[in-house]
């Protein structure tokens, strides 16, 4: 299958009168080798249903069509969503494998088919919420690769007690093991972005508990990182009615109350949430 190069990307954009929108993070990839590499990294298996958020002009979509049993895409921009089946019919031998949904990815809570792999060059301004939302609503997602701004990639894949570690790292770890998967040259985009991009790969693992426990755990995480430089007993004092009760809850959960949130991995945050439940807090 022929993929989209710089000439095709410009031709399509001109024909659709598309001026790439910064607020929608529209930077289109025009390098087929990079698209094929991203799809290879995602490790698609026979029968996989691949989900792409923000297919744009279809660069990555066409590479996904070569490998996946079915490709489902969610694109917010109607002009791009309407054009995609036409582009795919021109380039793919099996255009029926594509389903296009013209919606905001943050607003969806189901799809006509449950995806098993996520592959996306995510819109930069909403990359973390979109990534976490997909992990949350599709337990069927087994693995995937997303391209994001380099700093965001470092944050998503960070380990505790590093300067990159924060809310995105610890929340993503509820659902998945997340690792860095390489740098992408900014020259493969049109328009060329101001920031570097990186790939992030993930593999789902068993979640530590149900949705009620997740929500409780995430509320504790948000508080712990809202005052990142503070010790946990102080950062969580409002939740427990003072730093002495906070210290008691933390100690009861087996967590040193003088630590900062950035020292805790997801299982430590889960221990606090479980202890809250056990003591009826």
Is residue 276 a contact point for ligand SAM (CB under 6 A)?
no
Distance (Å, whole) CA 139 – CA 207: 10
Interaction between residue 144 and ligand SAM (CB under 6 A): no
CB closer to ligand SAM out of 80 and 236: 80
Would you say 106 or 279 has its CB closer to ligand SAM? Answer: 106
Q: What is the CA radius of gyration of the chain?
A: 21
Q: Rounded to whole angstroms, how far apart are CA atoms 218 and 276? A: 13
By C-beta, is 73 or 249 nearer to ligand SAM? Answer: 73
Size of the site for ligand SAM (CB under 6 A): 24
Minimum distance from residue 278 beta carbon to ligand SAM (Å): 39
Query: Using an 8 Å Cβ cutoff, are 12 and 57 in contact?
Result: yes
Which residue of 31, 50, 59, 176 would you call a contact of ligand SAM, by CB under 6 A?
59
> What mask of x and - would describe binding to ligand SAM in positions 77 to 116, judged by CB under 6 A?
x--x-----------------------xxx----------
Instruction: Return the H-helix or E-strand segment holding 146.
Output: strand 143-149
Q: Which of 63, 48, 174, 177 is nearest to 118 (CA)?
A: 48
How far, in Å, CA of 120 to CA of 63, rounded? 11
- CA–CA gap between residue 216 and residue 34 (Å, rounded): 40
**Which of 26, 83, 87, 143 contacts ligand SAM by CB under 6 A?**
26
Q: Cα separation of 165 and 155, whole Å?
A: 6
Q: Kindly state the DSSP code that residue 260 receives in the 8-state scheme.
A: B
Stretch that binds ligand SAM, among 57-65, 92-100, 161-169, 229-237 (CB under 6 A): 57-65
How many whole angstroms separate alpha carbon 21 and alpha carbon 221?
Answer: 33
Is 8 one of the binding residues for ligand SAM (CB under 6 A)?
Answer: no
Query: Does residue 53 contact residue 122 with C-beta atoms inside 8 Å?
Result: yes
Closest CB 85 distance from ligand SAM, rounded Å: 15
Q: How far apart are CA 180 and CA 18, in angstroms?
A: 32
Residue 54 contacts ligand SAM per CB under 6 A: yes
Q: How far is the CB of 104 from ligand SAM (least distance, A)?
A: 4
Kindly tell me which residue out of 18, 39, 72, 74 binds ligand SAM, with binding defined by CB under 6 A: 74
**Binding positions for ligand SAM, rule: CB under 6 A:** 24-29, 53-57, 59-60, 74-77, 80, 104-106, 121, 123, 126
């Amino acid at each position: 299958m022929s993929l989209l190069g710089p000439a095709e990307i410009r031709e399509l954009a001109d024909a659709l009168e598309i001026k790439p929108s910064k607020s929608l993070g529209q930077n289109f990839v025009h390098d087929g080798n990079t698209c094929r590499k991203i799809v290879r990294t995602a490790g698609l298996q026979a029968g996989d249903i691949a989900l792409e958020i923000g297919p744009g002009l279809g660069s990555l979509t066409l590479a996904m069509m070569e490998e996946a049993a079915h490709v489902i895409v969610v694109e917010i921009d109607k002009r791009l969503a309407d054009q995609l089946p036409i582009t795919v019919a021109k380039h793919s031998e099996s255009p029926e494998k594509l389903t296009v949904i013209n919606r905001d990815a943050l607003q969806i809570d189901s799809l006509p088919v449950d995806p098993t792999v996520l592959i996306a060059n995510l819109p930069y301004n909403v990359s973390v919420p979109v990534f976490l939302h997909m992990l949350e609503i599709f337990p069927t997602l087994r693995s995937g690769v997303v391209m994001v701004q380099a700093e965001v990639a470092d944050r998503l894949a960070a380990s505790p007690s590093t300067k990159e570690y924060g809310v995105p790292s610890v929340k993503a770890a509820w659902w998945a093991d997340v690792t860095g998967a390489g740098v992408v040259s900014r020259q493969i985009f049109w328009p060329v972005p101001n920031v570097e991009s990186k790939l992030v790969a993930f593999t789902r693992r068993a979640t530590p508990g149900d949705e009620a426990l997740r929500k409780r755990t995430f509320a504790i995480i948000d508080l712990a990182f809202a005052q990142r430089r503070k010790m946990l007993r102080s950062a969580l004092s409002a939740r427990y009615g003072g730093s002495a009760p906070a210290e008691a809850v933390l100690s009861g959960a087996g967590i040193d109350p003088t630590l900062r949130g950035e020292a805790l991995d997801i299982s430590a945050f889960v221990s606090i949430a479980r202890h809250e439940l056990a003591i009826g807090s």
